[in-house]
């Protein structure tokens, strides 16, 4: 019962381990269950969190075509003629609007369409979770992103970041056009 409740909390809310432990203790007390030792409860919660995250990464990566994972890898690897990765394109803030910039942002959106990012339907996943994973990609260097294991976690982070980037780019294009 506790495991199912914890999974529901993890899926519905973005909670850290400490917050989840406090809520789990309250849940057990409400159910009149004798609390296990703090270390045992902590290990149990950490295990449920880890398994839930692995399931989440698995779910997200299955929304993206498996044969295109190499395209995600290409985004975080530098082309031979550049110091920067292609992922940096989507991390930059929008400059002052003009016709050239609008066309540039349209080409960025086309890149995301070619990656089939716009076809990823993440509607079944909590928006806060998507935003947190996207923020991880935004705050990490490509070098750090390449080091993330398991691969499903790296791909899930990249997918969430690119889905959020597509929304931002589209909003930016619309805002620039209306100026």
Cα end-to-end distance, the chain, whole Å? 55
Q: Enumerate residues 6+ apart whose C-beta is below 8 A from 141.
A: none
What's the confidence (pLDDT) of residue 133?
93
Query: How many C-beta neighbours within 10 Å does residue 101 have?
Result: 15
- Considering just the CA atoms, what is the radius of gyration of the chain in Å? 20
Distance, CA of 3 to CA of 26 (rounded, Å): 14
Query: Is the pTM higher than 0.75?
Result: yes
H or E segment to which residue 87 belongs:
none
Taking every pair of Cα atoms in the chain, the longest distance, rounded to a whole number of angstroms, is: 66
What's the confidence (pLDDT) of residue 15?
67
Residues in the chain where the model's pLDDT stays below 70: 14-15, 179
For 65-94, write each residue's pLDDT tens digit: 999 999 999 999 988 877 788 899 898 888
What's the confidence (pLDDT) of residue 176?
83
For 159-172, write each residue's pLDDT tens digit: 999 999 999 999 88
Is residue 7 within 8 Å of residue 48, measured between CB atoms? yes
């Amino acid at each position: 019962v506790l495991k199912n409740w914890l999974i529901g909390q993890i899926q519905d809310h973005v909670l850290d381990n400490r917050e989840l432990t406090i809520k789990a203790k309250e849940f057990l007390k409400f159910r009149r269950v004798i609390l296990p030792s703090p270390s045992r409860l902590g290990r149990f919660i950490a295990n449920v969190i880890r398994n839930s995250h692995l399931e989440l990464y698995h779910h997200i990566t299955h929304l993206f075509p498996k044969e295109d994972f190499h395209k995600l890898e290409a985004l975080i690897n530098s082309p031979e003629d550049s110091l920067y990765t292609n992922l940096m394109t989507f991390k930059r803030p929008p400059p002052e609007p003009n016709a050239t910039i609008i066309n540039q942002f349209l080409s960025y959106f086309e890149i995301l369409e070619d990656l089939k990012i716009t076809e990823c339907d993440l509607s079944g996943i909590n928006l806060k979770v998507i935003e947190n994973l996207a923020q991880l990609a935004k705050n990490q260097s490509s070098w750090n992103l390449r080091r993330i294991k398991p691969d499903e976690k790296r791909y899930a982070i990249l997918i969430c970041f690119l889905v959020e980037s597509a929304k931002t780019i589209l909003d930016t294009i619309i805002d620039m056009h209306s100026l």
